[in-house]
Structure 1
Amino acid sequence: MRPETRVAAALLAGALLTACGGGGDEVTRVEGDGWHGVLLATEPMPLRDGTAAESSLPEASDVERFEEVLPPTAEFPGASGPESIAVDEGYQRQYTLLTGEDGRRELLVNGICDEWWQSEWERDWSHAVASDFGTCVWQASMDLATDRITSLEFSGIG
């Protein structure tokens, strides 16, 4: 099955479960070539510029667009000097869509290395990004109007 077909099937299944009263406990998993994660709606959060925004589940096409433009590596400013870290594989992702009061849409993504992934993060937005986990946790945002990644940051300096 092609990656976009798996994503679309997962989104459809999640929508059907929610429509049938099966939401809440259901997890919408997505995967593609070298990436995997979950779609989440969170409490309202601000956009990167501080504008109030509501959170909802992103569309499959939003997730696919993000994964297409995510660079395979990013520079991490480690204590012993910068190092290039592969961010395109080996991380579970959490995806949420933020929609501002003015209609602006941003995709917010947490990447948490596979070996640190905790099952509760399949249902709850991870606040691990506030801790210093070095290269094991990153957060990115993408402006969906421009398909541009506006930030890609690691949780702390290792």
Structure 2
Amino acid sequence: MEIIFKEVNVHNWEKCVDLKVSEDQKNFVAANWYSLLQAKFYEEEELYPIAIYDGDTMVGFLMYCLDIEEGRNRWEMCRLMIDKKYQGKGYGKKTLDKLLNHIREKYGNIEFYTSIEPDNIVAQKLYESMGFKKTGEILWGEEVMMVQL
């Protein structure tokens, strides 16, 4: 497994939009087309959409951002999805490890955040395995988690 991050661009955006989670996960993460539109037009935050590849095969999508709403001013992962064909093979953990290393190299030893739907036990276990802990904060009905890099 060779996880590579590539920008979503004119050459790969359609493949990114075609990636899907399983039916029982659809309520846990926004559709990739929505995330790409949000990154393009949402001016209140710096949004960084990234295609996740294993070699030449796109296996997922993530997006991180600088959340400046309501004075939060913090870096966070706002999307992570692995296509249903590639789930259960370790891509989520490898991707998250690579992202945390990228954030640490780019921004230093910072607090890094994400949030989960309360019913998304699989994501919670993944994030906890990477050092994230619940903060007690609730945003948009989701539980906020944080890891110190």
Normalising by structure 2, report the TM-score.
Answer: 0.31
TM-score calculated relative to the size of structure 1: 0.30
Structure with the higher helix share, 1 or 2:
2
